[in-house]
């Protein structure tokens, strides 16, 4: 929730600064769509911890699944971003693979450090 609210605040301040006026309802609606996407991305891995809390999966499994499902979600976002930018499927898949590779590298480095 905190990340979503921080994203909302950031988007409002950024828009008002860039356009040099207060945002209107239409702009707030556009910003809200972006904020909901960010909030979903942040909350998505939390589902596994809720399942761990009720005993459906172990805590270790929740950490592992949330880490890798989050990585998959990032790759999916990259693919969708490429397609929305007008890229052909192959190029959007390449973009998604590159983003997922960087994310996977970060996950691996974190696993080595912890």
pLDDT of residue 93: 97
pLDDT of residue 113: 87
The token duo for 104 is: 């996977």
Task: Map out the domains of the chain as residue ranges.
Answer: 1-43, 55-114
In tens digits, what is the pLDDT along the chain, a chain of 114 residues? 777 788 888 888 988 898 888 988 888 888 888 888 888 878 888 889 999 999 999 999 998 888 888 888 889 989 999 999 999 999 999 999 999 999 999 888 987 887
pLDDT of residue 61: 92
- Could you tell me how many helices (H) and strands (E) the chain has, helices first? 5, 0
Q: What's this model's pTM, rounded to 2 decimal places? A: 0.66
Contact 71, 65 (CB under 8 A): no
* Cα 52 from Cα 61, distance rounded (Å): 8
């Amino acid at each position: 929730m905190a990340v979503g609210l921080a994203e909302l605040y950031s988007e409002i301040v950024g828009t008002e600064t860039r356009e040099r006026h207060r945002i209107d309802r239409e702009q707030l609606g556009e910003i809200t769509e972006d904020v909901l996407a960010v909030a979903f991305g942040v909350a998505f891995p939390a589902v596994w911890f809720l399942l761990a809390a009720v005993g459906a999966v172990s805590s270790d499994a929740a950490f592992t699944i949330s880490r890798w499902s989050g990585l998959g979600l990032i790759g999916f976002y990259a693919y969708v971003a490429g397609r929305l930018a007008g890229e052909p499927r192959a190029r959007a898949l390449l973009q998604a693979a590159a983003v997922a590779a960087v994310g996977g590298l970060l996950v691996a480095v974190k696993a080595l450090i912890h």
